[in-house]
Amino acid sequence: MKQITIISGKGGTGKTTLVASFAALAKNTVIADCDVDAPDLHLLLHPEIVKREEFKGLKVAAIDKSKCIECGICEAACRFHAISDNASGVDARDGDFFTGVNASGVDARDGDFFTGVNASGVDARDGDFFTGVNASGVDARDGDFFTGVNASGVDARDGDFFTGVNASGVDARDGDFFTGVTKSGYAVNPARCEGCGVCVFVCDQDAIILTERVSGYAFISKTKYGTMAHAQLNIAEEASGKLVTVVRNNSQRVAEEEGSDLILIDGSPGIGCPVIASLTGVDLALVVTEPTMSGLHDLARILDVTQHFGIASVVCINKYDINEANSRRITGFCQERGVMIVRNIPYDPVVTEAMVAAMPVVEFSDGAVSDAIREIWASIQ
């Protein structure tokens, strides 16, 4: 079973465009989209998901309030400012007409006179002077300047400018253009927590532990070109290299089960951990570059990576004719490095038209670009 990874030292060179066309040309293949931070191969191959599994990457800190003595050592030790001693994890701001805080610990949005929040953690609607929401999820009454909300699920009083809400379930103070926020001990902001474990290490009370969280999802899907392994990392999550490894393992397992001859891998851009995970153990790397100085610079970096890991590499210059002087520089560089350029692809607006139509280029058009892609595929398969 052969494995080919299509990579690029930088984003936007056209590697996914090539992978989609290779998938349309290949026979008996499994496709793996390893660009888990920003996957888009599915836009061209239209997979139907048959299996989904949770991916648990970095852990997140959790505080046991029954053990916490609120000494503040964890807050001082956290360089990511993920631990704070108020209910939202972020100090509430004083301001003209105020920004409120919801019960889920996320600051509400600034707005004219107020943007309300319900107790389920969902932002209420912006509106002229506000439509309030009570804790039971039922819209409160519209009112001049505000209909307040309290945490007990009972509508608060209408009042000039505001009736506030605090996190403890007791109505906050009425005031000109303000409501306070009560503190209810230390809490972790999961969006800021990096799972490093420093807070666990410094806590003398053993009140903090690291817990697993779902960081994304891995999928097995069916396409008309073959089975596809792919994934999606959640927003602001890390450990994408580990998720790439999950996708690689899934593709290899499926290929063995189906008796496939080839795994076609759409790698991540750059030279970081997800790229290395995309390259590990493959038979060939096709590096797609572009005729720009940044393209040449990043081509040199990715070839250093493939050389370091002993992976055979070939190069393709996409849109070579938009700057033929730079294409010659890249050709000379590759000759110096002993790397073969398999074929150059000309610029053609038909590629954009194929993307808009959500189709691989070789199925959309039979022009010069499709001919070049077919020649590349014939030379590397």
- What single string gives the DSSP state of each residue in 178-220? -------S-EE-TTT-----HHHHH-TT--EEEE--EEEEEEE
Choice among 107-111, 202-206, 324-328 with the minimum mean pLDDT: 107-111
Is 115 a residue whose pLDDT tops 50?
no
| Cβ–Cβ < 8 Å for 279, 271 | no
Report pLDDT for 184: 59
Which pLDDT tens digit goes with each residue over 216-240? 999 999 999 999 999 998 887 877 8
What is the rounded average pLDDT of the residues 137-164? 39
Residue 45: is its pLDDT beyond 60? Answer: yes
* pLDDT at 377 exceeding the cut of 90: yes
Residue type, 144: D
Residue 23: pLDDT above 50? yes
Report residue 293 as tokens: 């100085």
pLDDT at 320: 96
Is the pLDDT confidence value at 117 over 70? no
Q: Which pLDDT belongs to residue 368?
A: 94
Q: Using pLDDT thresholds of 50, 70 and 90, give the confidence band for residue 198.
A: very high
- Please state, in angstroms and rounded to a whole number, the distance separating the CA atoms of residues 43 and 38: 12
| Averaged confidence pLDDT in the chain | 79
| Type of residue found at 297 | H
Q: Residue 304 and residue 292: Cα distance in Å, rounded?
A: 19
Percent of the chain at pLDDT above 70?
Answer: 74
- Answer for the pair 247, 264: CB distance below 8 angstroms, yes or no: no
Which residue segments constitute the domains of the chain, with CATH numbers given?
2-58+216-380 (3.40.50.300)
How many angstroms separate the CA atoms of 263 and 144, rounded? Answer: 64
Rounded Cα gap, residues 105 and 102, in angstroms: 6
47-61, 148-162, 235-249: which is most confident: 47-61
pLDDT tens digits for range 331-351 = 999 999 999 999 999 999 999
Answer whether residue 105 shows pLDDT above 60.
Answer: no
* Long-range Cβ pairs for the range 273-276 (8 Å, 24+): 273/240, 273/241, 274/34, 274/35, 274/36, 274/37, 274/240, 274/241, 274/243, 274/244, 275/7, 275/302, 275/305, 276/241, 276/305, 276/309
Between residues 11 and 2, the one the model is more confident about: 2
Look at residue 10 in the predicted model and tell me its pLDDT. Answer: 84
Q: Which amino acid is at 200?
A: V
Mean pLDDT of the 30-52 span? 94
Q: How confident is the model at residue 325 (pLDDT cuts 50, 70, 90)?
A: very high
pLDDT of the residue at 54: 93
Residue-wise pLDDT tens digits, 275-312: 999 999 999 999 999 999 999 999 999 999 999 999 99
